[in-house]
Homo-oligomer: A and B are copies of this chain.
Amino acid sequence: MIIVLKPNAPIGVSEEILQLIEQAGLRPLHLPGKERVVLGALGDERTLGRLHLENHPMVESVKPVLAPYKLVSRELHPEDTVVNVGGVPIGGGGFTVIAGPCAVEGLDRLRATALAVRDAGATCLRGGAFKPRTSPYSFQGLGLEGLRILAQVSRELGMPAITEVVEVADVDAVEEHADAFQVGARNMQNFRLLEALGRSRKPVVLKRGMASMVEDLLLAAEYILSQGNPNVILCERGIRTFETSTRNTLDLSAVPAIKQRSHLPVLVDPSHGTGVRDLIGPMSKAAAACGADGLLLEVHHDPRSALSDGAQSLFPDQFAQLMRELEPFAAAAGKRMSAAPSDPAGRP
C-alpha cells in the first residue's frame, strides 16, 4: 500500500503512522519525495485495511501497489534511483561505460585491456573470475586468483571493478575484492543467491535471463531489494529467439519498458546481446538513444587470443572509436558521458 500524506503533515505524523504499520505486522517504508511524504506498507493488504488510515486527518490517500513487484516499482518510488559503484554514479543524468575482458586471464593481460579502456573513457572495469560456461570442459575462470588480480588492477587504475558471482559461498570473497556484484543471465532466478546479495549493501548488476520476461526481471530484483539492498542495476543482454544471425536477440524495447515500471537504472550489454563484433557499435548507440543509463562491453587487448568470447570482444581501437561516436547519442538522449571517480580512494 502507498500512503500519501497531506502537504502540510508535520514530521511526527510519518513516525506515528509507520509505527502503526509496524505494530500491525507489516513492513513500514519511509519514502520522502520532493513535494510530499509517501509512506509504504508491505505485507497482507487486508491487515492494513483494518487500520483505516484513509480516515487519518493528515493522510491524503491510500492506494494499493498494483505491480507484483513493490519496492522496485515506480508506483512506490517515482524518482529515478542513482546507484553508486565505487564512486561512479549509475543512473540519473549520466551515461556510464563499463568495459573489460570477458574473463580475467592474468595480471598483465587484464592491465593491458584496462589501460586501453580507461584511456578511451570507460569508468568501470569488468572481468570475470568465476565463469559459468555451458560446457564443463571450457575455461572456467581463475577463481579467487582472478578476483585478486581484478582488485589490484582496479586499485592501480582507479576504476571500480564489477565481477560475476555465481554462488552464495563466494559472496564474501567477491564483496571484498570488487565494487559491484554481477549476476549473470543463467543465475537471474537463483533466488538464494539474490537473497544473499540482498543482505549486502554493495551494488548488484542483475542481468535478464535468456527466457525471462521484463516482469520476471523486476521480480528477481525485488528479491534483492526486499532483503534490504536498494543498490540494484538492471541489465538487458538479449533473449533467446529463433534468429541465428545474432547469438541472442537484444530486446532494446525492454529499456523504456523497464523505465516506465521501475526507478532502477538500466544498462545494456550489446556484446552478449549480439555476439557479433560488428553489431556492437550500432547497438551501443541504439541503447544510448532509447534511454539506457550505460553499457557493459567486452573489450580485449587481443581478442584473437582471448580464452572466451573472442568473437564478440572489441579491439581497443574499435572501442576507442565507439566511445567517440557514442557521445552525441548520449547527449541527444539528455545524458553526459560519466567521468572517472574524482577520488577513487574515497569510495564508500
Contact surface of A with B, Cβ cutoff 8 Å: 68-70, 132-137, 166-169, 186-187, 189-193, 209-211, 213-216, 219-220, 222-223, 226, 239-246, 249-257, 260, 273-274, 276, 278-279, 281-283, 285-291, 325, 328-329, 331-333
Minimum C-beta distance from A182 to chain B (A): 15
Minimum C-beta distance from A91 to chain B (A): 16
Task: Using known A-B contacts A190-B187, A278-B260, A286-B252, determine if residue A211 contacts B214 with beta carbons closer than 8 Å.
Answer: no
Chain B positions within 8 Å of A255 at CB level: 282
A169 near B169 (CB under 8 angstroms)?
A: yes
A213 near B331 (CB under 8 angstroms)?
A: no
Q: List 12 A-B contacts (CB under 8 A).
A: A134-B189, A136-B191, A168-B169, A210-B211, A213-B244, A245-B254, A249-B253, A250-B252, A256-B282, A282-B289, A286-B289, A329-B332
A134 near B257 (CB under 8 angstroms)?
A: no
B214 near A240 (CB under 8 angstroms)?
A: no
Bound-state CA distance A316–B68 (Å) is 32
Bound-state CA distance A273–B328 (Å) is 25
Copies of this chain, how many?
4
Minimum C-beta distance from A54 to chain B (A): 23
By beta carbon, the residue of chain B nearest A198 is B136
By beta carbon, the residue of chain B nearest A255 is B282
B282 near A136 (CB under 8 angstroms)?
A: no
Chain B positions within 8 Å of A291 at CB level: 282
Bound-state CA distance A142–B82 (Å) is 37
- When the two chains form the complex, which single residue of B132, B214, B219, B226 contacts A245, counting CB atoms closer than 8 Å? B214
* Inter-chain pairs besides A211-B211, A214-B243, 14 sampled, C-beta below 8 Å: A68-B135, A132-B191, A136-B226, A213-B245, A241-B242, A245-B253, A249-B249, A252-B283, A253-B274, A255-B282, A256-B278, A260-B278, A282-B289, A283-B290
